Amino acid sequence: MRYENVCLASFGSAIPPIELSSAAIEEELKPLYERLKLPQGRLELMTGIKQRRLWSPGTKPSDGAAKAGKQALATSGINPADISCLIFTSVSRDMMEPATAAFVHRHLGLPSSCLLFDLSNACLGFINGMVMLANMIALGQIRAGLVVAGETAEDLIHSTLKHLLTDTGLTRKSVKPLFASLTIGSGAVALVMTAQSYHDSGHYLRGCTFQANSAYNHLCQGGQNAEQGTLMSTDSEELLTRGIETAASCWHNFKRELQWKTNSIDHFFCHQVGRAHAERLFSTLQLDPNKNFETLSQLGNVGSVSAPITMALAVEQGVLSVGQRVAILGIGSGINSLMLGVDW
């Protein structure tokens, strides 16, 4: 898909206050490590994640999303009354019903005429939301919209640690699908998008491509139950292989659709999974790793927030210059890949 008049007006982000280091997680898992003779330091060494962030107790996904949304709206200078669509896109949500977007809508004081709904697609939710808003803008249905995400990793990490410490039947082999859950962190991000004719930010979404590979939807699955809380099981090695395979097809289509050459792209913003993932992705797609802006070591894998907050923080830090070309490379369980091109 190609776009001509869709602008990225402004990002907002919210970084949780609590730091949880990989070393602290391993200290808590010391009984497991000793029983299974696991080497200390393996979590950070294998993932590249030094720490992840957590919210204060009682924080809901809508709280973080609203905080990021408020910042995005304030930075854009756009009247909240002009926001015609709000999309909440996280894996985490306040409750099954109503939509978490309803809580964010109320927090932000958006108009009653604003269309609101939740959209969920694992770690691709936010950039899926960007595409939804872009389509509505391109069709002339709205002039301005807001996409938000607020991930809360606290329950997943707590439940995973409890399971690892209490299930004495776990082996070195059976713990592997659980360790990916310890890479997850919390955070929130938001983006105001507009029609160029309404508010020209000078930053343009040029197009996107997507690729599905659902034969491998079993490689990363999770959910909640009353006894164990939130748990996920991830075949990290196979998911890495099939995810990169899916991304390679998507990347080929991306360059063809946008008619971009690899060397014309100045910055890449990717879903933050782990060190091995980034290295293999850039090697397979033959990308310059020096153009990869990362937040992995400090934030971990923040689900749907990862790729957009990485770009948001790059904007905040002045990494992007006017006229530069950006590719957002998304890969999520399912398996799906979605890639967006932006002229900054």
CA 104, CA 342: separation in Å to the nearest integer?
Answer: 27
Average of per-residue pLDDT across 163-190: 94
**What integer pLDDT is reported at residue 232 of this predicted model?**
82
- Name the token pair of 120: 């969920």
48: CB partners within 8 A, 6+ apart: 274, 275, 278, 296, 297
219 DSSP 8-state letter = S
Does the pLDDT value for residue 224 go beyond 80?
A: no
Residue-wise pLDDT tens digits, 285-294? 999 999 999 9
157 DSSP 8-state letter = H
Per annotation, catalytic residue among 123, 220, 250, 270 = 123
Positive or negative torsion for Cα 251, 257, 259, 265: negative
For the question of residue 123 being annotated catalytic, the response is yes
For the question of residue 97 being annotated catalytic, the response is yes
pLDDT classification of 227: cutoffs 50, 70, 90: low
216: three-class secondary structure by DSSP? helix
Q: Please give the CATH topology (third level) of the domain spanning 204-343.
A: Peroxisomal Thiolase; Chain A, domain 1 (3.40.47)
Q: What angle do CA 297, 302, 306 make, to 5 degrees?
A: 85
**What integer pLDDT is reported at residue 225 of this predicted model?**
67
Q: Residues of the chain with pLDDT > 70: what percent? A: 99
DSSP-based helix, strand, coil % in the chain, nearest 5: 40, 25, 35
pLDDT classification of 228: cutoffs 50, 70, 90: low
For residues 305 and 15, the answer to whether their CB atoms sit within 8 Å is: no
pLDDT classification of 303: cutoffs 50, 70, 90: very high
Does the pLDDT value for residue 226 go beyond 80?
A: no
**What integer pLDDT is reported at residue 233 of this predicted model?**
86
pTM: 0.96
45: CB partners within 8 A, 6+ apart: none
Residue-wise pLDDT tens digits, 105-150? 999 999 999 999 999 999 999 999 999 999 999 999 999 999 999 9
Average of per-residue pLDDT across 44-60: 96
**What integer pLDDT is reported at residue 240 of this predicted model?**
87
